[in-house]
Structure 1
Amino acid sequence: MGFSDSKEAFMSVPVTLTELWIYPIKSFPGLSVDRLTFDAAGPVDDRRWMLVDEKGKFVSQRGLPKLASFGMARLDAGYTVTAPDGDSAVLPEPGQAGESFAVTVWKDELQAHEVSPELSQWFSAKLGKRVHLVHTGPASERRIPDPGTYDHERVGFADGYPLLICNEASLDGLNEASGLTLDMRRFRPNVVVRGAEDRSELMLGRLNLPEGHIDLLKTCVRCNIPAIDPDTATYQKDVAAQLKTHCEWDGSTIFGVNGVARGVTGLTVGDTALYSAQA
């Protein structure tokens, strides 16, 4: 599935939002939800918790594929996290801030708060590695690393942007070209759309909604996480090779686009939007 270099005229096409996801703990499995609500840092509860090592560096599936084997469920207040051995713990809603210390997400350093020493010990025992569970606090201080964003816009512990948008047709095209049967969970989207043509989202542009819009600012460069089977937490070299071949764009492996919601307080599965872009 090679990408075309041909120029296309201005396009405008209606799309439907078919899936919405949040990932409360960075690099853990996500939760399919019927509705996303937003605050200044993006979808509420999306990547607002994170595990860090003893140096404060974030922990992810890139180094610990086992994170994919954890389960997560929504409670009336907070979340339940289930370890691969079946043991579970409650991730409470943020309350009184715990110990504050510096953590790093890629090149960004910011202050975070330990949720509780007991939860940190629980995760450490399950992973066989000393970690701390931290939260961003009531308001993220982290800027979005993009010249197309505004000073007041923030992001939690996501790699860089508050939203990842994926296109069903692009996954269908990838599977057809590669002979794989990947599902969308591997690509960890917040928003999945139907109605746009295969790879047309890579032109970036905007999703215009009845209330506000989502600006698509950057194509998403992929690491090894989409090659990790979300059901078994095993890294699949053959999948990695196929992704490198069929999702190549400007020398990188690309699938999905990063964006920022502006003037949007919420999204619901089944909402319609008008996707417009100029190639």
Structure 2
Amino acid sequence: MSAIYIVKEIYIYPIKSLAGISLESANAEEMGFENDRRWMLINSENIHVTQREYPIMSQFYPQILGDKIQITFEGETHEFSINEYLENPIETKVWEDKSEVVEVNQNTSKWFSDKLGFECRLVKINKIGARKHESSRTQETYNVSLADGYPYLLIGTESLDFLNEKLEEKITVKRFRPNIVVSTKRAHEEDDFKTFKIGEVQFKNIKPCGRCIMVNNDPQKGIVKKEPLKTLSKYRNVNNSVLFGTDIVSLNSGIIKVGDEVVF
């Protein structure tokens, strides 16, 4: 009998709020997958910039080419080195978490400023502990990347299928920007996962993920619609938070791959 819980998809999002990259395997680290949300854009007030305010950010497509990241937007490309950054530290926040970042380079910041139409800088978190997130659920503090909260987001296939049954216009899992998609047998059972192993890595479930207006941004077009948040809010609203997927952390480093079994 074949296993039920299998990794179907793996994604990283090198630059916060830009498009993601589908991978066949990924290196799990304490702060999230390698190169996942290690970069983000900040405005002239050092506040992070996301699709919530600028849905067009979904139209910037990154690729990792050796030791470089190449960004494509409306047919134009720009690239920078994964390892480059300027020395001067910048104090910013990701929501309530203080974060220390560094600018990648002035040329890259100008490219993004020109494309988005306002002054911004591309910055990088380049050391463990530069941002810490305290969990109200576990009362523990985690070293995290520039993701909204936790290092990893896991979604079960049945959760999306169940939602799509209720939607007139079907959507893909990319709306929810997961890191790991696993095959499941019932909707939202991933909420109840405790600790589990995928490949070389032990994971711990922290809490179901509360979703925001960003899931209404169609990643293919950069256009905000009413769904799926409208429908989700009818059956997944818990304490004024609309839940979809679950936030997890890794307890060790290692490789996971598409096709790996989820072992409880």
Q: What TM-score, normalized to structure 1?
A: 0.88
- Are 1:233 and 2:216 matched, yes or no? no
Corresponding residue of 1:103: 92
- Are 1:138 and 2:127 matched, yes or no? yes
For residues 112-160 of structure 1, what are the alpha-carbon distances to aligned partners after superposition, in whole Å with 9 as ceiling and x for unaligned?
A: 1000011101100000011010000133421232153755x41110011
Corresponding residue of 2:32: 42
- Are 1:176 and 2:140 matched, yes or no? no
Q: 1:169 to 1:57 in 2, by over 3 A?
A: same
| 1:57 alignment partner, one of 47, 63, 81 | 47
Q: 1:238 to 1:166 in 2, by over 3 A?
A: closer
| 2:60 alignment partner, one of 70, 89, 103 | 70
Q: 1:208 to 1:238 in 2, by over 3 A?
A: closer
Range that drifts further, 167-176 or 70-79: 70-79
Contact 2:12/2:36 (8 A) holds in 1:
yes
Q: Distance in 1 between matches of 2:95 and 2:21?
A: 24
Corresponding residue of 2:205: 216
In structure 2, give the amino acid aligned to 1:198: A
Corresponding residue of 2:247: 258
Paired residues in the alignment total 261
Q: Distance in 1 between matches of 2:263 and 2:151?
A: 20
Q: What TM-score, normalized to structure 2?
A: 0.92
Q: Distance in 2 between matches of 1:70 and 1:246?
A: 32
Corresponding residue of 1:19: 9
Contact 2:30/2:151 (8 A) holds in 1:
no
Contact 1:73/1:81 (8 A) holds in 2:
yes
Deviation at 1:267? 0.7
- Are 1:127 and 2:141 matched, yes or no? no
Q: Distance in 2 between matches of 1:241 and 1:24?
A: 29
In structure 2, give the amino acid aligned to 1:232: K
Corresponding residue of 1:191: 180
Deviation at 1:77? 1.4
Unaligned segments of structure 2, at least 5 residues: none
Local SS of the residue matching 1:37? strand
In structure 2, give the amino acid aligned to 1:42: G
For residues 169-190 of structure 1, what are the alpha-carbon distances to aligned partners after superposition, in whole Å with 9 as ceiling and x for unaligned?
A: 1000011133341100000000
Unaligned segments of structure 1, at least 5 residues: 1-12
Q: Distance in 1 between matches of 2:108 and 2:34?
A: 21
Local SS of the residue matching 1:171? helix
Range that drifts further, 201-210 or 30-39: 201-210
Contact 2:102/2:126 (8 A) holds in 1:
yes
For residues 209-234 of structure 1, what are the alpha-carbon distances to aligned partners after superposition, in whole Å with 9 as ceiling and x for unaligned?
A: 45342111011000011111011000
Structure 1 stretches (4+) deviating beyond 4 angstroms?
A: none
Q: Distance in 2 between matches of 1:76 and 1:210?
A: 24
Local SS of the residue matching 1:177? coil
For residues 204-259 of structure 1, what are the alpha-carbon distances to aligned partners after superposition, in whole Å with 9 as ceiling and x for unaligned?
A: 42223453421110110000111110110000024332232243234321100000
Corresponding residue of 1:28: 18
| 2:156 alignment partner, one of 155, 163, 167 | 167
In structure 1, give the amino acid aligned to 2:39: W
Local SS of the residue matching 1:159? coil
Local SS of the residue matching 2:16? coil
Deviation at 1:60? 0.2
Q: What fraction of aligned residue pairs are identical, expressed as a percent? A: 29
Deviation at 1:264? 3.7
